[in-house]
Each structure stands twice: as C-alpha cells, then as structure tokens.
Amino acid sequence: MNNFADSQRPPTDKQTLNPRTVTSAQSPLASRSWAHRKFSLLQVLQGIPSFLIQATRGGHYPPKLRGNKTVPSYLGFTAVVLSWFSAGSLTASTIPLFSTGSPDGKIATLSRPAGAGSETETADDFILGQSAFVTNATFVGLLPTGTSLSSVTGVSIELYHVFPLDSVDPPDGRVVTRTNSPSDNAFKSFDSESLSVSAKILNPSFTAANSVVNGIHEKPNQFTGGEGAVTGEEVEFDITFLTPFFVDATDHDFFRPEVDLSDGNFLWLSAPKPIGAPGTAFQFPGGPTTDLQSWIRNEDLAPDWSRIGTDITGQGPFNAAFSLSGSPVPEPSSLLMMGSGLMGLAGVIRRRLIRA
C-alpha cells in the first residue's frame, strides 16, 4: 500500500481556489453540432419581438387601437415576454445532466499537467442524452494525506471526441487498441482563465484498492497489474465554466481533468461500472447506449491511450468519478415548430388589420 502520508486531519470547509493557468493545445477542428454555428440560440429568441412587429406592419404605419396604442406595441410586448421566457429557460434552470456516481474505491489513477513531472492524463466518457449547455462539473480524487487545499496550484479540463475524430488514422500501433479511446487531440480546453474552481475534503482518509501512476507502457509491456493500494484525502473539485459549452444529445465525448499540486500528485478515483444510483445511466435518444471505460496516457505514450482496466491492470473495466450539470435546450425541431407558430400568428393579425 502506498500511503501518501502518515498524518491525518479533520475535514475542512469548502475553499475557493485560484489555480495557476495550465495551457494546452486546442484542436482547430470545428464542432459538428448545429449549436456551434455563428448565431446563438439566445440571439434567435431575442429577435422574436422585432420579427413579429415587422411582420404585422407590412411596411405601413401601425394602426391605432384604444388608448392610442398600436397593435405592434401590444404584440411586441407579448413577443418580448415570450422570448424572455424561452431564453430564460436556457439559462436559469441548472439541473444534473450526467453522473458516474460516488467513488467505489477500486482504483485511483494519476491525472497531472506537465511541469510537475511527465504529463499524465486520465479520461472517461459521457453522453447526456439531451441537448444542453454544460455550466458546471465535479470530479473526485485523492490528495496526499495532510495536504492543504491551498497546495492546489492549477486545474484544467479538456474534452475529447471518440477516436478516430481529431486523430491520425490509422494509429501507430503502439497500444493494444484505439477503438473507443479518446482522440489524439482535445477539441475543447479550459484553464484558470475560463474556470472558477472550489474544492472540499469529503473524507480525510480514503483508500483505493489499486493505482496507476508510473506503470504506463507501450505494448507488449502494457500489463503491470497496477501499483497497489493507495490512501489519501478524498477531495471533490467543483467547477464552473465561465462560458458554458453546448453538448448535443447524441454527442459521445470524454472528460479529462488535471490537477497540479505544489507537492505530490492528484489521483482520480474510479466509480461503479455499470453506473448505478446515484449515478446517471447512459442514455441515447431512443434508449440506452454503450458506456465505455476510463483510459490513461503519459507523454511517452501520447498521442495513444491505454485502457486502465483491460490493458494495464487486468481488472475492471472502470469508470471515473465525475458529474456534469447545466441547462437543457430545445432541439432544432422544437425551435422550428415555435417559429412556424409565431409566423402564423403574425399572418393572422396582419390579415385582420387589412380587413379593418
């Protein structure tokens, strides 16, 4: 067993961190989803009032109603309320979108940026099952026992597509397989300029039955069985994305956090596989879909990845402990239906004005 330290201390209150910027390259490839076009959904909704007013006026001076009020003024007020309600529904209600559940104590794996040693990344996959703007995330792992939360000097998040997107294909053949692995390159990266981070200690002494820190090798030496049990402080990191990002209902992506410490390493804890309560089972529009497993790589293995369970330890396979929350958004078909209804409303009002 690899004890991080002998001393223990009681849990502390949640602390807001000011992590050092951790830079990483972002793939220049454009997103494939409809919401990543040049216009935003909020801009579309906010344009409803002016559309309705212009549609009913037809280029003529707006007719007057009782109280010297124009029809467009009433219609405009209604449209403003409607668009405010629709736009507000995208940003006001933040709900849980995805979770792998609580740590299961099976394994803890290194995830640290370059600079503290060789960069080592652990990633796990998710599907939301509904289109949404992701505003927040959490992930849970181990710090060395007795470590102050103030020793956290950097936190970064990256998102990866599933191979072969954003990757060289065919791969170089240095690992057992790249099927269902994260891609070579991230398509989104977040650091201290784009994140607000806080952390809290959940348990001053938590033990994972196995670990992967240094034993990450090319085939045929990929299997190590792991590096043994490890004990440390169980810490939850709470992330706010200063600019929420859109995820389509059918997107299958990987989530990769890294934590930099002034002394020691952060190890990301595993979560149950298959996912059970309080986690969120993988849902794809139309029914359940495949939950993959957590992967890992270091600078020597990159751009390739190895499966933590299947390739390295011969256990598992594993998930990693994290969650995502945010605001669901309507599908394009829903927006088209709403737009068609508004156009019909404008047409009816205009015809009545012409008869009058």
pLDDT digits (tens, 9 = 90+) for 186-223: 999 999 899 999 999 999 999 999 999 999 999 999 99
- 188 and 142 in a single domain? The answer is yes
- 242 and 196 in a single domain? The answer is yes
- Min mean pLDDT across 103-107, 175-179, 346-350 is at 346-350
**Residues in Cβ contact with 59 at an 8 Å cutoff, skipping those fewer than 6 apart:** none
- 228 and 267 in a single domain? The answer is yes
- 116 and 195 in a single domain? The answer is yes
Expressed as residue numbers, the domain containing 87 is: 36-91+332-355
- Min mean pLDDT across 13-17, 133-137, 326-330 is at 13-17
What pLDDT, on a 0 to 100 scale, did the predictor assign at position 21? 38
Indicate the number of domains in the chain: 2
- 69 and 215 in a single domain? The answer is no
- 186 and 289 in a single domain? The answer is yes
What pLDDT, on a 0 to 100 scale, did the predictor assign at position 42? 47
User: Which is more confidently placed, 139 or 46?
Assistant: 139
pLDDT tier at 350 (50, 70, 90 boundaries)? low
Inter-axis angle of helices 48-57 and 332-355, to 10 degrees? 30
- 199 and 215 in a single domain? The answer is yes
pLDDT tier at 34 (50, 70, 90 boundaries)? very low
Q: Looking at the predicted structure, is the pLDDT value of residue 11 above 60?
A: no
Q: Looking at the predicted structure, is the pLDDT value of residue 18 above 70?
A: no
β-bridge mates for residue 98, sequence order: 324
User: Which is more confidently placed, 17 or 55?
Assistant: 17
Q: d(Cα 342, Cα 344) in Å, to the nearest integer?
A: 5
What pLDDT, on a 0 to 100 scale, did the predictor assign at position 252? 96
User: Which is more confidently placed, 18 or 82?
Assistant: 18
Calculate the alpha carbon distances from 95 to 12, 137, 222, 254, 328 in Å. Answer: 27, 11, 40, 20, 8
- 106 and 83 in a single domain? The answer is no
pLDDT in tens, 54-96: 554 554 445 444 445 454 544 554 444 444 444 444 445 799 9
Nearest alpha-carbon partner for 159 in 251, 275, 285: 251
- 194 and 55 in a single domain? The answer is no
What pLDDT, on a 0 to 100 scale, did the predictor assign at position 346? 55
Nearest alpha-carbon partner for 162 in 250, 254, 90, 47: 254
- 238 and 154 in a single domain? The answer is yes
pLDDT tier at 115 (50, 70, 90 boundaries)? confident
- Min mean pLDDT across 10-24, 101-115, 260-274, 312-326 is at 10-24
Mean pLDDT of 113-120: 88
Q: Looking at the predicted structure, is the pLDDT value of residue 307 above 90?
A: yes
Percent of the chain predicted with pLDDT > 70: 67
Mean pLDDT of the chain: 80
Q: Looking at the predicted structure, is the pLDDT value of residue 31 above 80?
A: no
**Residues in Cβ contact with 48 at an 8 Å cutoff, skipping those fewer than 6 apart:** 79, 82, 83, 86, 342
pLDDT in tens, 142-169: 999 999 999 999 999 999 999 999 999 9
What pLDDT, on a 0 to 100 scale, did the predictor assign at position 339? 57
- 195 and 337 in a single domain? The answer is no
- 131 and 79 in a single domain? The answer is no
